[in-house]
Amino acid sequence: MTLFALCATFLVLLALGMPIAFVIGMACMVALVVSGDSLILLQHFMFIGIDSFVLVAVPMFVLAGEIMLKGRMTHALTDFADILVGRFRGGMGHTNIAASVFFAGITGSASADTTALGSVLIPTMAERGYSRAYATAITIASSVIGPIIPPSLTFVIYAMAVGGVSIGELFVAGIIPGLLVALALMVMNYQISRARSYEKRTERYSWSFIGSTFRASLLVLVMPLLIIFGVLSGEFTATEAAAVASIYAVVICMAVTRTLRFTDLPGVLFNTAKTSSIMFLLLATSSVLSYILATQGVPRLIASGFEAVTDNKYVFLLLLNIILLLIGVVLDLFPAIIIFGPIFAAISQSYGIDPVHFGVIFCVNLLLGLNTPPVGSGLFIGAAVGKVRLEELIREVRPFIMMEFLVVLIITYVPFLTTTLPRTLSALVGG
């Protein structure tokens, strides 16, 4: 009855359009009442869910991103991306994707990527002959690169939820998968652009413009390198790295480029607090849900189900990918990580799967849910930023989601793509 009450309340409130954090919290409260447990457990496990020093990294990384956004560093990245890939067919689409790769080093957030780059590139692409729905689809599809390439809030939350996994190694492990996603999206963009006769840049940039753009972009691209090597070398923790990133962003935007003023800081801090509070509420309510599922024996049932079906790790990974896609359809990213991360990570160990490799598979797969209805937040943010109908956006984004799923399968069955680089860099930096 407890699980029935939990699921029924969850689905009803979700269908009514209640925000997912409140849906989880209300469903958990109803489940506790039905089970006869004290409601004190609600606040108890909500507090436990956010009582972690590691989570201080979340507002710090958000702050660094907000500073860079307010300091208008996105323009340099967009110009630099256009220099590199704008001359290919579908040039502005490629520029959009490449800009997401560079932008990933600023925030590690898909929603920030969609809002910041979409507000600039969607109108520009529309002016050059792309449909607004297609321009928006590319923007939200490439926004998932942000949480894969370091610094990644997604990997921070996963490492905190699962335990025993190095955040630094997860950061590095995400680099190649992130680049593979970008390459896959560019291939699809090229094919569609050729079929629809979309543009490509014909004019050449001067060497002086290329040089100034590269120098401006370099100031931004140094930040993820600073974070990665600092964490892997042991000079600072992931939380301290986030603080260093914030300080670096302030120094660059206020002292070097001078695109940020003291009067801008209250707005930056407010946006940081607002974004972080949403994340922490999700983490808190998800912690209660994890407790209820554990007391009802759900992890044990899931593990027994896998053991009954197969003892082959490759079949397990295929089934896992299917299940995670279904989870991503109905549950937001961070709650899904908090609730199911520890369950599936423990099961994966019995199959002998590398923890870092599994962490990347798990997170990248769930990220596809950002652009999948009905809960996909990327769809709603993209529709609002691009000013397009949701139905048109869903139709245009489907080919890109298929390419991203193909990348998930590649990184699932070719583990050296995620494990080689972390081990190599750890050995070099540690030595």
pLDDT band at 71, cuts 50/70/90?
confident
Nearest by Cα to 102 from 82, 125, 131: 82
Where is pLDDT greater, at 421 or 201? 421
pLDDT digits (tens, 9 = 90+) for 338-384: 888 888 998 898 888 999 999 999 999 988 888 877 667 788 888 88
Question: Residue 78: its pLDDT value, please?
Answer: 80
Question: Residue 132: its pLDDT value, please?
Answer: 92
Question: Residue 430: its pLDDT value, please?
Answer: 57
Q: At residue 412, does pLDDT exceed 90?
A: yes
CA distance 402 to 368: 10
pLDDT digits (tens, 9 = 90+) for 124-142: 888 888 999 999 999 999 9
pLDDT above 90 as % of the chain: 15
What mean pLDDT is predicted for residues 393-400? Answer: 91
pLDDT band at 107, cuts 50/70/90?
low
Q: At residue 74, does pLDDT exceed 80?
A: no
| 32 touches 42 (CB < 8 A) | yes
Give the dihedral sign, CA 19/22/26/27.
Answer: positive
Residue 269 tokens read as 């801090």
pLDDT digits (tens, 9 = 90+) for 153-191: 888 889 888 888 888 888 889 989 999 999 999 999 999
| pTM across the whole model | 0.84
Question: Residue 225: its pLDDT value, please?
Answer: 78
Where is pLDDT greater, at 15 or 183? 183
Q: At residue 232, does pLDDT exceed 80?
A: no
What mean pLDDT is predicted for residues 195-220? Answer: 82
pLDDT digits (tens, 9 = 90+) for 297-350: 887 888 888 878 888 889 999 999 988 888 887 777 888 888 888 889 988 988
pLDDT band at 406, cuts 50/70/90?
very high
Q: What is the mean pLDDT of the chain?
A: 84
pLDDT digits (tens, 9 = 90+) for 261-286: 888 888 888 988 887 888 888 888 88
